[in-house]
Amino acid sequence: MNGPTHALLGACAGLVAASAMALPAWQVACAVPLAMVTSAGHTSPDMDQSAWWRLLDRWLPDEALGESGPMRHRGITHWWGLVVVAGVALWMLAPGAWWAWALLAGWTSHLAGDFVFGANGGIPVMPWWNCIGCGLDVGGPTEAVTRAVILPVILAVLALRAGGIDVIGPIVDHIRAR
């Protein structure tokens, strides 16, 4: 998934997390950019493409661990188990840390995006090997439609919902009435 698509998905995840926690408006306004910070770029699972990570990868003999090692792109930083461990730790140690949940929502959204988009195998089931995913082309037409239409519509609906405006309920009611 490309950076802008990851950022939009992160914004959606931030709004979902903020809504789930019933945050006040100022925290919602902060949660969205916080989720976007960890959804794309060098503060996301794609930190494994940064210069410092690649330098560290050259110094560490992680390839000896198999499957090109945990330091490879879509290796350990893309493993879903890190999200689970972080979520359990947050739940146990700081359940009210809304900002940390927003950051985790952004990181999780990145993994979800890479599961769907990524012809090179998706995300690892095990810490850095046995990747699975849908395999849609990164930068392909499906991602372009997702970025240009689907995610902006979802983001708008979530933003309206966070503002107390339900646009889905009336549609569902109309469909049920038919």
Q: Which residues are CB-contacts of 159 (< 8 A; sequence separation ≥ 6)?
A: 15
Torsion of CA 60, 43, 1, 62, to 10 degrees: 10
Q: Is 41 exposed, middle or buried (0-12, 13-18, 19+ CB in 10 A)?
A: middle
Q: Give residue-wise pLDDT tens across range 107-153.
A: 999 999 999 998 668 999 999 999 999 999 999 999 999 999 999 99
* Radius of gyration, alpha carbons of the chain: 18
* pTM value surpassing 0.95: no
* Residue 4, Ramachandran bin (φ over 0: left; ψ between -120 and 50: alpha; else beta): alpha
User: What's CA 85's distance to the chain center, in Å?
Assistant: 16
Structure tokens at 82: 């890190």
CB contact burial 144-157 (16+ within 10 A = b; e otherwise): eebbeebbeebbeb
Work out whether the CA dihedral 7, 13, 19, 24 comes out positive or negative: negative
How many angstroms separate the CA atoms of 129 and 29, rounded? 37
pLDDT score of 104 = 98
Q: How many C-beta atoms lie closer than 10 Å to residue 127's C-beta?
A: 16
Q: For the chain, which ranges sit under pLDDT 70?
A: 119-120
pLDDT score of 162 = 86
pLDDT score of 11 = 97
pLDDT score of 147 = 96
Structure tokens at 52: 């410092």
pLDDT score of 118 = 82
For residue 132, give the DSSP letter. Answer: E
pLDDT score of 121 = 81
Q: Please, which residues bridge with residue 131 across strands?
A: 124
